Structure formats: structure tokens, C-alpha cells
Amino acid sequence: MENIIQNIQQIARTGLVAPVMIVALLAMMIVPMPPIGLDLFFTLNICLSIIILLVCIYATRPLDFVIFPTIILVATLFRLALNVASTRIVLLEGHTGTGAAGSVIESFGEFVIGGNYAVGLVVFSILVIINFVVVTKGAGRVSEVSARFTLDAMPGKQMAIDADLNSGIINQDEARLRREEIASEADFYGSMDGASKFVRGDAVAGILILIINIVGGFAIGVGQHDMELADAVKNYTLLTIGDGLVAQIPSLLLSSATAIIITRDSRKQVLGDKVKQQMFANTKVLWVTAGIIGLMGAIPGMPNFAFLSIASILLATAKWLDKKQDLEELEQKVEVDEKPAAAAENKELSWDDVQPVDLIGLEVGYGLIPMVDSNQNGQLLNRIKGVRKKLSQELGFLIHSVHIRDNLDLSPNAYRITLNGVPVGESSVHADRDMAINPGQVYGELQGISGKDPAYGLDAVWIEQGTRDHAQTLGYTVVDSSTVIATHLNQILHDNAQELLGHEEVQQLLDNLAKQSPKLVEDLVPKLLPLSVLVKVMQNLLSEGVSVRDVRTIAEVLAENGSRIQDPIELTSLVRIALGRSIVQKINGIETDLPVITLEPSLEQLLLQSAQSASEGSIGVEPGLTERMFKSLEQVAQQQEMANQPAILVVAPGLRLWLSQLVKHSISGLSVLSYSEIPDNKNIKVVAAVGTD
């Protein structure tokens, strides 16, 4: 046995499994097989069908058995090859008796149907009807519908993954795994649609093979072997029925496995656990059923023993499940610590009674409390953790924890986001619905509650959770209520990142940098610059959307210029020049050509003269001139957006900060850079020059 296993492993390692299987199937169809060989292969066929059925039952979801369509094809070909081999022996040796084709066929012909070929024909017909009309036809229809709906829902699922990725709920690796899972799901259901046709064809082939064997056996037995008609009918019919039953039973098992795997949902859970959870979770069903069966069993003339026995079993099961559920509820209750009451004494006030302001806070109405309760399957905490992780990676420092509390002053479905105790965002969600966001182009209308995406202001509809797939097929981006809140939080924290960075965070960044460049940190703080200046520089960068991940470059620029410049604004400009490559890449990617907008020389010269004569960074410009320039910039920015290109305004270094602050909250998508911030390897292409006209 060990030698056989080693030989099989050697064949598997050399990649000869498929060729060996093909040769074996051809040999079974062409080369006559002895009865003992048929016994072994028929037994192996039954064993293989049982294994496939059990794998389908114990698989937690359909994609866990993604090779199932191929297994169906191989098992079907194997069974058909056995039918050819058994037909040859039945027709050649059937005149010698019912044991001519081996013990397995003889046993099914004699024992299973009692040696009565009339009973065998009826049993075989019933098996064929069950397999062909009920199981195979239903599984084929489910496969077809599942494949069509899976393919239709793919675009919406892809957009949902992109939405989760952009909101920080998942990272790039998780997004890639989800996309691969969607592709695998589409391939699986598409393959199952075709594989179900093999199973259906196998059932039809079983009927035809039965008819051919009986007719051919009569002709050969009577015509060639001079058998009596009664003997020929008995021998060939019993052999044919036995052969048909041996093949039809594995075929029925395989059809049942196909039906089970294709009717499963995509969530990970064992089939037995699903049955227990969804059928027997409510014990009232068992109590009522037991009562009905018990009443029927008490009627005179009914099979009292059978009905009353089943009713007793149902009552005992319902009682046991009730006790089990009560124990589980007791175990889930939170134990309350008993503390001695100090009723007679009043506790003195202390500094512990002065609660600090939450840096990041989230207040929810009482209707949204289940969303933050993990015991009620709330997902908001995980979503917020994903947002913090994504922002920490993007911005370059650890985002503080979000303090969540309930607020009875809010409406039940409302929530409020605060920074340093001050509300900065507020909206409402429907916890029992999903938000279908219109990304700009959809193919139909949805029934639901109209609303707006709180993060970006897009039109949206709150829909029932069961209509998610339908909404995705229409082109909507569908997210749950937890994702809506998390995305809104992500947008607010990103826009106010400078308020999240303080002295403690900057000191932690320096401590991490000191592990790699200790001399740089030692010379910078506090020898050249105080920590407060470094904090201000980094806050300035964050306020303009520049990440502080590259702490080493920031520290090197400050160390180089800190001895002669102490102004945080000037230092920020120098740091931006050093970070120019990453700034431009964030705006325009890795493209070599950089489309930019410039100011006409006369206008730029006028603004520079005003800046030189102004104090503290303010520029005195005629209001009408500023308004005309602002409208021109807005028009050009819109043209760039329509052309699917970034809107980048390039100006002299002395004007960059003023213009950036001017357009920051007014012209969406317009980035303001100075000439010195553009890397040398970029080809500048001027797409427009804004003047005073």
C-alpha cells in the first residue's frame, strides 16, 4: 500500500495526473474489463459521489469548492466510461447468468429490487424522474439565474470596493483580495451554469443506455445464443436494471450535491449551523408543531404510536433548546461590579472631576447606539479603526482615538462629529438601510428615502438592504450606514489634519527619526529651532494638504536653514520646495507632462509689487481686479476638470501662499504651486494664462 501511495505522489509531482486519467477513461471504453475491475470501479464511483456530496454539505460557502464544476465533468465522464464498459460485458456475457458483469451489478439486480425486473424498472424510473425532472432541472435553473445576476452585479460590487478603499475601511491588499473573490465568484457561477448541463445530459444518457441494453440483450440472447425468451428477459433485464441502478444512484448523489452547492449563499457558515440558526432558533415553531402532531395522534384510528412519539421528541427538543438559550443569555450579560455606597459622605471635588476636551469626538443619537455595540453586530467601530489607520498612513502621524458617546439631545438617527469639543459636522443615517449614491451616471430610479451623501454632497437614496444587488446593477454605489459615517469622519479629519498634530505627536515623530538619524535630531531641536516652530511648520504643511511622512527631509531642510530663518512661514516654503516631487506626484501622478495655468506677466508683476509693499503677508489689490481674476481662474479650473486633467496654478514664490489661501475654499480642485516647487524632470505645458480681462 505504501508503494502505491508513493507511486501516486510521484505521478502527481510530475504533472501526469490528467494524462493518466484520460488514458484510463479511453481504456475503459475500448479494452474489455474483467468483472472484478467493474466491481472496483463501480464501488469507487459510489465512494466518489458520496465524498463530493459531503464536501458540498460541509463547505462554508460555494467558493470553498471552486473546482466543483471540473469535478462534475470528471465524475460524469468516469460514470459514462463505466456504462460503456459494463454494457460491453452485459451484451457479451449476459447469456451466462446474472453474475456475468460482476458482483456489484448482480447485487443491485438481485438484492436491491428483489430479483424482480418489473420492480426494478419502476424503481429505476422513479430515480430517473427524481433526478431528471426535479433535482437536475431545478439546479440547472438556479445555476443559470445565479450566473446572470452575479455577472450583472459585478460593476456595483467593484464600485463598493473602491468606496471602501477610498474611505479607509480596507487597504490595497484587502481590496485586491475582494476583487479576486468577485472574479472567482463570477467564474464559479458561470462554470456551474455549464456544468449543470453535464449532469442533466448524464440523466438522459442513463435512460437511453437502459433501453439500448434491454433491446440489444434480447436480440443477442435469443438470436445468437438460442436462449428462451423468458430466460433472456430475466438475465438481460436484471443485468441492465442492476447496471442502471449502480450508475443512477451516484448520478442522483452528484445532482443533489450540485443543487446544494448552487443554492447556498455566499456567507461563510457551515450548512448545519445555518439550519440550526434559521430553523430552530425560534422554539415556538417546535412547540406548535408538537401540539399539532400530538392532537393528530390522539385521534382514534390514526397511527397513535408514531404520531405521539414524534410529538414527544419535538417537545423534549424544544424544552432543551429553551434551556440552552437561557444559559447563553446569562453568559452574555455584563457583570456589574458591586461598589460600597457612600450615602452618608459626600465625595470632595478634585481635578479628576474636570473632564478634558475630546480631540476627536463622535456623538450619536439613541437610534444609532446598536451601530457601535459589537454585541449587536455593530460595525462602526471597525470602520472608524480603518479610517484612523488609512489617515495615519497618508498623513504620516498617528491619528488619535475617536471618543464615541450617546447624546439624547440629538434626534434618534443623527450623529455629530467634534474636534476639540467643537462640532464640525453633523448629519443623519438610517441604521436599517443602505445608502445608494449616484456617482453621476445610473440606469434607473430607486425607491427609498432621498438624501445626500454627507461627505461629498452627492445625491443618494436610502434603500432596503435586500435591494443592494439591484441598485448596484443600476450603477449606484451602495454603502451601509456605518460606512457613511466613517467616510464623513474621514473627510473631516483629512480637511482638519493640522488640528490633530500637536507637540506630543511631533515629539514622537522626532523620537522615531532619532532611531535612524540621531545626529540630525540632536542638532535640530532645540539647538537650532524650538519644538514649537517645528510643530507650526508641520501644521502649515498639513493645512495645505501635504503629508509629513517624509520627516527626514523636513528635518534636514529645517536643520540647513534654521540658523538664519526662524519664521515658520518661510521655513514652510523651503520645506515645500524639498517635497516638490511628492507634492506634484500627488496632484498629477507619474506623468511626465505637467499641464499648468499661469498668470499673465503684467498681472503677476502687479501682484508682486503689491506683495513687496504689503506687511505680514497681506496683499492690497483692487477688489474688482481680484474678482475678475477669481472668475477667470474658476472658468479655467472647470475646463481642466471637464478635460479630466488636474488644475494647477503656477505662480512666483512670493504669491503662492496668498493665492493658495484665496482659492482654497472657493475653487474646488485648484492647486497652487510656486515655480521652484516643480521638479526638473517635469515638462511644463501652459494650458491657459489668466489676466485681468
Domain residue extents for the chain: 1-27, 32-154+164-275, 282-326, 355-496, 501-578, 591-693
CA 238 → CA 79, 159, 212, 335, distances in Å? 19, 60, 14, 71
CA dist., res. 575 & res. 246, Å (int): 81
Spatial distance between the Cα atoms of 277 and 288, rounded to a whole number of angstroms: 18
Q: At what angle do helices 229-262 and 117-129 cross, to 10 degrees?
A: 20
Q: What is the pLDDT of residue 389?
A: 92
DSSP notation for 436-492? EE--S--SS---SEEEE-TTT--EEEEEEGGGHHHHHHTT-EEEEHHHHHHHHHHHH
Can you say whether the dihedral through the CA atoms of 211, 216, 217, 221 is positive or negative? positive
- Report residue 232 as a C-alpha cell: 433472456
pLDDT digits (tens, 9 = 90+) for 358-409: 899 999 998 898 898 877 788 899 899 999 999 999 999 999 999 999 888 8
CATH architecture of 591-693: 3-Layer(aba) Sandwich (3.40)
State the CB neighbour count (10 A cutoff) for residue 508: 12
Cα within 13 Å of Cα(622), Cβ side: 7
Distance CA 213, CA 101 (A): 13
Give the pLDDT confidence score for residue 75 in this predicted structure.
Answer: 82
Distance CA 32, CA 90 (A): 11
Instruction: For residue range 239-285, list pLDDT tens digits in order.
Output: 777 777 777 778 778 878 877 777 776 555 556 666 666 666 677 87
The CA angle 683-685-690, to the nearest 5 degrees, is: 145
How would you classify the pairing of strands 403-406 and 422-428?
unpaired
Q: What does the H/E/C string look like for 346-390?
A: CCCCCHHHCCCCCCEEEEECHHHHHHHCHHHCCCHHHHHHHHHHH
501-578: CATH superfamily: FHIPEP family, domain 3 (1.10.8.540)
Which one-letter DSSP state was computed for residue 110?
I
8 Å CB contact between 169 and 383: yes
φ/ψ of 523, rounded to 5, equals -80, -25
To the nearest 5 percent, what fractions of the chain are helix, strand and coil?
65, 10, 25
pLDDT at 100: 63
355-496: CATH class: alpha beta
Angle at 637 between CA 438 and CA 489, to 5 degrees: 45
Q: What region, left, alpha or beta, does residue 396 occupy, with left being phi > 0 and alpha being psi -120 to 50 degrees?
A: left
Closest by CA position to 525, among listed 541, 539, 508: 508
Query: Grid coordinates representing 473?
Result: 446593477
How far is it between the farthest Cα atoms of the chain?
Answer: 125
- Rounded CA-CA distance 303/293 in Å is 11
User: Which runs of E-coded beta strand occur in 259-371?
Assistant: 360-364
Q: Which amino acid is at 54?
A: L
- Nearest alpha carbon to residue 435 among 483, 490, 475, 479: 479
Low-confidence ranges of the chain (pLDDT < 50): 1, 4-5, 8, 11-12, 334-345, 616-617
In sequence order, what E strands does 495-637 have?
Answer: 593-599
